[in-house]
Structure 1
């Protein structure tokens, strides 16, 4: 018997409701508005977020469990659309094997994330971010690093990258087997990611000839290291670093010694046998083996991947012409040393000298705590004991490396360099944290509300506008400038040492900012931590 037109209509309507319901409740279900891109390795599907196309967990490299401690390989190609809607695994690190950590670690961690206003052209500047945490830990899977607002407000393409860290990324085993003599697999991961950007970013609306790498703390140091890696040449065109320098790398001797310390924890007849165990060791056991012993991972020089130190004795030749911005904050150690240690924010004058010597003993040479406190009280009579402590530890521990790197680069007139300092203090906890280490991250990403210490403060939004505009103007033109402002940001040169001071109610240019502090600590030789 033939069905009536009405019954056919009802049947189709029911089926439509079923399909719509399925699309609503099934995670990753494809919709007509989901952006789709075919990369060099296969098709991917992202999602829309407030008008921005977002793609998360795009593979740029293969699972590194098959190349542990070695250079990465490109991912295996795929043909079915890969749903790139959630962050991928982070690099293995202490605690990442626990579900409660919120970020599951895996050796299949070579993934990146892309935010783009549209894939309609290939003219937008590209900003590629490398996370901090030294070379030991870290992830980009945090709200602070979400690139949506930066892409939306500044019409740029934002990329954040996950890569191998700690011993998996920076242990040198070339002294045991030639199979590992290239060294620095974690840095080679970043180079592979930049090659992916070169080969694919035009499909996301980005300009492959306008790539700016930027990073904070360890991320900034990774940027500086890339500037000296031959295989990275031509893959990026501008560099913006925040509180992260890499003047020298680890020597081969030091790196081989660390490898022996790790192997000494493994039972075996020979180093080759121990290495075989290390390569095949379960991850939880491996993390325990790599931890402890005072290891501080860092790139290794005198290797084919990193033949020379990045900034010693001179700025590396291959990157001298690349425009660079180097930044630092006024209160780095309020976070690095202070952190949750409330007592350091309530020191007495009697406590400061000994606490200084304890906290930065490797950075003050033969200077006594009493001498340092006396000089700071003379120049900053209104400072409290804790103010003096954090100012002095910042100058000796964190600012010193920035000055060394900046001055080495400034010796080359053909090396475009600009310097900034973040002086603006977040009102959080009545300004106690000041301008601490890492506080410029939410500002460059235009994400102050994603950062607990800035959330809800109008001044943080204003400061984020200023800093993110300067970053994007640099990415777009090769010179930093606060868009919408008439202020000229001059290059940093030896002599005047002109620098941008990011602050409210207005930013300003200073000549030889805190010059007496620079001169006071100048006589102390600098040694790169971890090298």
Structure 2
């Protein structure tokens, strides 16, 4: 087995699976199964009782977006008679194969397909009891992933915390975000992938009471690309009445690309296909595999995973002026979500994840290697200051640890900006966290401990950490899943035996430090936060002195982020 594959195995999958750090669910005694039924507005569905809960898998929430419906807004599903089986995971959205998807499916779910507008429900019982609903948006940077991935299986959350978990598949990549509305007449949607999520959320609001859920207590949450999707939902006026709280995890999208950028991307796509805008009707019949080839070939020109606009954005959520009328948090928090409590945070060692699939050299760098790897983003005195700042803040860190701290820090910095924008509304609380479990597992071929990389939160918050894992990891998973379920129940993340989690304010900056022993940290990494603040202020002053007043952050701050996303 190659060293790269060994590092993939370390996290239990690859970038193409949202369950990158997933572990098998624990075995349950018995194995008794029986069917359960529930009514929807479109017909009855039959789920399966398994592991002490009921699972409704592959429930349609919209018509298949095929042919003439390919780039349109989702349409309600057709009604059916009798009882429809919902006992198998549905097709993931059309995407690059690999990782947990496998070449033709993986036994858990079939191969990706354009026929993907289905959702999964995990519930203690379809008994009309009004339980909190946890509506999860899977990660994958708008390009990959599935609402059926192993690490985010909702079984344990439903078992342990009396909640209903809902996860959708929705259009991704070019099929989800190619914007044709300014190039041709017709029913061409903007942000059709986000409209799919909106349709799934609307379906949940209208039907979940028959599945044991409370339509008046729906939490929207997601990690990485799913965190960006959650921020988009938080910014969509049409979603405001459909959910009641949100959690944005390991993503900090202050701003989205613009409508003009999305149109420019569409023009580029047409050019690569050898088409003009007059040929747009032909797009409905071009094989999806050909469209995916174009998407993959253009990936290098895509948008950063955290939502910062690029001159020519990739395929993802953008400000279209209607579905998404404004930037999520760059100009303050959206007013129509003002009364909705929010959680926001990151993993302590986010960018470690993005180096696990290449040569392990970065985990062994010395001082010269540290400076060399950062020099593409920072130069001269600025590079000296940032290294000195982080060395003071983390005096025992190795050069490799400093590298990952520095490259992770902008994600944390922008998560703080989201919390500050939310707190400034004085309408509903915002709760800040950092997953800081120091996983001692070493990266293969090195002595570098894994720590808490990007995606390590997935099995933690879903309580999908097996009994064979280290006690500290199991304890961290108990804490994190209980806090998230507490937020779903009450709008405040609380769990028995854990410290009271205060709301975040710019005055004390209370942050839940999530570990085997949780604690409240006040303004963690303060010196690093102030460094970014001073750098931004210096940039703004320089711009004004040069006769320009801009609201954008320095490009150096933006480009310091990793170029790949889950």
Bin for the TM-score computed over the shorter chain: 0.7 to 0.9
Question: Is the CA contact (8 Å cut-off) linking 2:393 and 2:525 kept in structure 1?
Answer: no
State the shift of 1:372 in Å.
2.4
State the shift of 1:510 in Å.
1.2
CA-atom RMSD in angstroms:
2.2
The higher relative CO (CA closer than 8 Å, separation ≥ 6) is in 2
Q: Which residue pairs with 2:86 in the alignment?
A: 84
State the shift of 1:455 in Å.
5.3
Task: Find the aligned partners of 1:34 and 1:424 in 2 and give their Cα distance.
Answer: 39
TM-score normalised to structure 1 length:
0.87
TM-score normalised to structure 2 length:
0.82
**Which whole-Å deviations, capped at 9, do the CAs of 1:209-230 have from their partners, x for residues lacking one?**
0100110011111111111112
Task: Find the aligned partners of 1:307 and 1:315 in 2 and give their Cα distance.
Answer: 13
Equivalent of 2:216 in 199, 209, 212: 209
Q: Which residue pairs with 1:271 in the alignment?
A: 277
Equivalent of 2:525 in 490, 493, 514: 514
> In structure 1, the residue corresponding to 2:316 is in which secondary structure?
coil
Task: Find the aligned partners of 2:413 and 2:130 in 1 and give their Cα distance.
Answer: 38
Task: Give the direction of change, closer, same or farther, for the CA distance of 1:157–1:526 in structure 2 (3 Å limit).
Answer: farther
Q: Which residue pairs with 1:472 in the alignment?
A: 485
Q: Matches of residues 129-528 of structure 1 in structure 2 within 5 Å?
A: 129-180=136-187, 182-268=189-275, 270-273=276-279, 275-293=280-298, 294-295=301-302, 296-358=314-376, 361=377, 368-396=382-410, 398-429=411-442, 432-449=449-466, 456-485=469-498, 487-504=499-516, 506-522=517-533, 523-524=535-536, 525=553
Is 1:36–2:37 an aligned residue pair? Answer: yes
**Which whole-Å deviations, capped at 9, do the CAs of 1:378-402 have from their partners, x for residues lacking one?**
3322111111111111003x22221
Task: Give the direction of change, closer, same or farther, for the CA distance of 1:35–1:51 in structure 2 (3 Å limit).
Answer: same
Stretches of structure 1 that go unaligned for 5 or more consecutive residues are: 1-30
Task: Give the direction of change, closer, same or farther, for the CA distance of 1:98–1:242 in structure 2 (3 Å limit).
Answer: closer
State the shift of 1:43 in Å.
1.8
Question: Is the CA contact (8 Å cut-off) linking 1:354 and 1:369 kept in structure 2?
Answer: no
State the shift of 1:100 in Å.
4.2
**Which whole-Å deviations, capped at 9, do the CAs of 1:159-215 have from their partners, x for residues lacking one?**
111111111111211111243564000001011001111111111111110100110
Question: Is the CA contact (8 Å cut-off) linking 1:357 and 1:368 kept in structure 2?
Answer: no
Task: Find the aligned partners of 2:157 and 2:463 in 1 and give their Cα distance.
Answer: 6
Stretches of structure 2 that go unaligned for 5 or more consecutive residues are: 1-31, 303-313, 537-552
State the shift of 1:286 in Å.
1.4
> In structure 1, the residue corresponding to 2:174 is in which secondary structure?
helix
Q: Which residue pairs with 2:125 in the alignment?
A: 118
Task: Give the direction of change, closer, same or farther, for the CA distance of 1:160–1:336 in structure 2 (3 Å limit).
Answer: same
Task: Find the aligned partners of 1:371 and 1:311 in 2 and give their Cα distance.
Answer: 28
Task: Find the aligned partners of 2:115 and 2:388 in 1 and give their Cα distance.
Answer: 53
Higher mean displacement: 180-189 or 143-152: 180-189
Higher mean displacement: 416-425 or 92-101: 92-101
Question: Is the CA contact (8 Å cut-off) linking 2:363 and 2:448 kept in structure 1?
Answer: no
> In structure 1, the residue corresponding to 2:241 is in which secondary structure?
coil
Q: Which residue pairs with 1:46 in the alignment?
A: 47
Question: Is the CA contact (8 Å cut-off) linking 1:352 and 1:369 kept in structure 2?
Answer: no
Task: Give the direction of change, closer, same or farther, for the CA distance of 1:367–1:311 in structure 2 (3 Å limit).
Answer: farther
Task: Give the direction of change, closer, same or farther, for the CA distance of 1:526–1:222 in structure 2 (3 Å limit).
Answer: farther
State the shift of 1:357 in Å.
2.9
State the shift of 1:235 in Å.
0.4
State the shift of 1:460 in Å.
1.7
Task: Find the aligned partners of 1:69 and 1:368 in 2 and give their Cα distance.
Answer: 45
**Which whole-Å deviations, capped at 9, do the CAs of 1:256-282 have from their partners, x for residues lacking one?**
1111110111224x4121x12222111
Task: Find the aligned partners of 1:509 and 1:152 in 2 and give their Cα distance.
Answer: 28
Task: Give the direction of change, closer, same or farther, for the CA distance of 1:305–1:469 in structure 2 (3 Å limit).
Answer: same
Task: Give the direction of change, closer, same or farther, for the CA distance of 1:151–1:246 in structure 2 (3 Å limit).
Answer: same
State the shift of 1:477 in Å.
0.8
Task: Find the aligned partners of 1:508 and 1:514 in 2 and give their Cα distance.
Answer: 15
**Which whole-Å deviations, capped at 9, do the CAs of 1:420-458 have from their partners, x for residues lacking one?**
001112232377110111111111100013xxxx95222
Task: Give the direction of change, closer, same or farther, for the CA distance of 1:526–1:92 in structure 2 (3 Å limit).
Answer: farther
State the shift of 1:366 in Å.
7.7
Moved beyond 4 Å, runs of 4+: 364-368, 526-530
Task: Find the aligned partners of 2:256 and 2:381 in 1 and give their Cα distance.
Answer: 26
What is the aligned length?
487
> In structure 1, the residue corresponding to 2:248 is in which secondary structure?
strand
Task: Give the direction of change, closer, same or farther, for the CA distance of 1:233–1:383 in structure 2 (3 Å limit).
Answer: same
